[in-house]
Structure formats: structure tokens, C-alpha cells
Amino acid sequence: MGEQNQKRRIILHVDMNCFYASVECAFDPSLQGKPLAIAGDVEDRRGIVVTCSYEAREFGIKPPMPLWEAKRLCRHLLVKKPDFQKYKAMSARMFQLLREYTDLVEPVSIDEGYMELTYVKADPLFIAYDIQRRLKDELGLPSSIGVAPNKFLAKMASDMKKPMGITILRKRDIPKILWPLEVGEMHGIGKKTEHKLNEYDIFTIGDLAKEDSYAMKQRFGVNGVKMWERANGIDERKVDPDSANDYQSIGHSTTLKEDTVSQTMLSAVFSRLAESVERRLRQKQVVSSAIQIVIRYANRHTITRSKKLENPIQEKEKIYENAWQLFKKHWNGEPIRLLGVTALDLVERDSAYIQLDLFHYHEEKRREDLTKALDAIRKKYGDKAIQKGNNKKCKE
């Protein structure tokens, strides 16, 4: 434990540039290089610009501006309705790509995430460039990446050069790069807090850093200490792949010990991956309605393939079955270096449904009887009296 703490942490913050607009451009290259806005309601002039391309930003358009105002600033502004299915799908592919480098990927929102590279042997800067290039080549999406010893600095770094920037922020760069910035620029400080800080003559991040941490706690509570720590480049937060987010997917991938074509070995790998995915699905109490696999061949050529499922699943057997089916369908027989399995379209277990089948619904009768029995017991003894066993962690 102590040893690991001493290891110098390396965190990447990957931030997609104008994500929705970029996705639209990736799907329709004719939109590229043109001012484009994504707006809630294209017909209704009261619609609001959700996001816009850099070309549109040059006209002074920025979200959340009303559409009519944006059109006044730029007459030939192209406007598209948001297509969240498309964005979600792209987001899933983007995180899948990130997970090829490490399992420690924490999605923060649909278009940004942290990666912990502390335990990855390769040069982090090289990885950052590789990720940025591949996001552009394979998905057609521009991104900015911050490389730093913690989440806060990585986030600040990724903001510094957009679009397509890669910025390294080391602890020793803090006085020179971070401190001259206004406190409002600091991630996590809103307008209100900024005003309050100004009242205490704190205008730059440097001012904040030089304050007394005890005084900050007196004035701003726990949050004050946090701000002070951040200003000094301290942030111990872990990169947590399981931090809850509904657009999140749960995935694992593994590089094989040696390139192989052995189906027995590959099947065993899928089994193990399915097990890991199941474990985390259970932890989060979610089920998945789509399974995706990644195949990377020995020549580094990589494909991802997914399939929608008729009914949501959580069990490793079913995850394995679907992943293996996908694999057999798409594998070209060449030696394989890396395999990955991801559960997509996650739904909370409690709000998931299973469509009954005309030819098999009779088999559900047993389950129905059980449910009835459970209901009867609950009615009599209260809701907590009895629960189905599979909610608990089973040790095999």
C-alpha cells in the first residue's frame, strides 16, 4: 500500500472538443469546417444552442445562447437537432478506445473522462498522443488531453489548449502556469464562490494558494480546504471506473501473454472477462442490454463489434455466450493480441424488464409462483422480511 502511494501518479484527462458538433461532423463530413450549432428545437426559434463548432464560436456564438441570437450573429449557421442515441454510441466507442490502454478509466460525462496511467509501463506522453491520434483517425473526433500527477491538474491542463491540444502540467509548473490565472478559471469554482473569494482579496489562483489553509476552513468549510489544496496542486482523488453515471458502460480488456489463435485459450479469456464484467454489474446493481467486444490482432489492427440483446442480462454465462458469438462471427482467424468485453446500455436492475416469449412463457410460471409467495410474505411481515438471493454477493 505505502509503496504504491509513493509511486508517482500519472493521470490523463481526455476532453472531447465540442462533442455533439464533432460527432455530427464525423457522420456527415460535409458539415466539417462550417459553423454548426446543435440546438434543442430547430424549428422553434426559442430553442437553445446546446453546443456548437469552433467555426461557430468564432462568430461569438456560445452555449447556452438562444437560437435566434446565434442566427443573428451568423446568418449561415447550420443547425442540427441533437441525436442522443448517436452521441451515446460514439461515447461508448470513445471510452472503449480509452480502456484499451488501462481498465482504470473513469467517465465523468458523455464526453470526458480520467485515465490512471500510474501502473502502465509505456510513456504517458506517447499514450496521450496515440489516443488523440486514434480518436481522430478512428472516430473522427478532436480531443484535448491533459497529463498531470492528479485529476485536478489533469483537468486544468486539458482546458489549456483546445482543440487538439496536449498539455503537461507538472507540480513544479504550478507557480508559473496555474497561479497567474483568475480563481474563476479554477475547475470547481463557480461565479458565487469567485465573488466571495474576491471579497477576501483573493483574485488569482496564486492568491488562493498562498492563503492559510486554516483560515480557508474557517471561511469556506471543508470546501475551503479543498480549494486551497487544489490551488497548491494537491488532489488525492482516485480514478474510479465505477463512479456512477448512466451513460457509462462496464468493460474489461486484457492483453494476452502471447498472440494466439487457440480457441480454447481465447474462450477462456472471454470467460474471465465476462466474470469481471458480471462482478461489476452486480456491484452497481445494473443490467446490460448490449454487449460489445474488442479484438486487437497481432498487427495492432483493432475492431469493436456490438450487438443489442433482446432482454437485459447480468449473468456471466450470458455475457460470455454473447461475446463469444460476436467473436466467432467477426474473428478473421488471425492471431490475437488483446480481447475486451463491454456491457453497454446499462439499466438499473430494478427498472429493467424482460419480454416474455409466446413459446416459453410457461416456464416463467415457476418464477411467478415464487414472486407471489414472496409478496404474500412481505404483506404479512413487511418489505424487508425477505429478499431474493441473487441480490447478495455470492461466493463461489
Alpha-carbon distance of 52 to 109, in angstroms, equals 18
CB 319 within 8 A of CB 266: no
Q: Is residue 386 close enough to count as binding another protein by CB under 8 A?
A: no
Interface with another protein by CB under 8 A: which range of 21-29, 132-140, 213-221, 358-366? 358-366
Of 245, 273, 251, 241, residue with least CA distance to 348: 245
Interface with another protein by CB under 8 A: which range of 49-57, 145-153, 275-283, 364-372? 364-372
Alpha-carbon distance of 343 to 24, in angstroms, equals 25
- Distance in Å, CB of 247 to another protein, minimum: 10
Residue that is written with C-alpha cell 412481505 in the block: 378
- Pick 182 or 315: Cβ nearer another protein: 315
- Distance in Å, CB of 80 to another protein, minimum: 19
Alpha-carbon distance of 323 to 253, in angstroms, equals 12
Q: Is residue 27 close enough to count as binding another protein by CB under 8 A?
A: no
Alpha-carbon distance of 139 to 295, in angstroms, equals 16
Amino acid at 87: Y
Annotated catalytic residue, options 24, 55, 106, 112: 112
For another protein, the binding residues in 270-329 under the rule CB under 8 A are 287, 289, 312, 314, 328-329
Interface with another protein by CB under 8 A: which range of 30-38, 119-127, 224-232, 346-354? 346-354
| CA 270, 272, 278, 280 torsion-angle sign | negative
Q: Is residue 196 close enough to count as binding another protein by CB under 8 A?
A: no
Helix axes 84-99, 19-27, angle to 10 degrees: 100
- Pick 138 or 368: Cβ nearer another protein: 368
Pick from 361, 377, 381, 386: which binds another protein (CB under 8 A)? 361
Alpha-carbon distance of 197 to 194, in angstroms, equals 5
Asked about 112 being catalytic, the answer comes back as: yes
Active centre residues (catalytic): 112
Please give the residue ranges that form the binding site for another protein (CB under 8 A).
Answer: 246, 263, 287, 289, 312, 314, 328-329, 331-333, 345, 347-359, 361, 364-365, 367-368
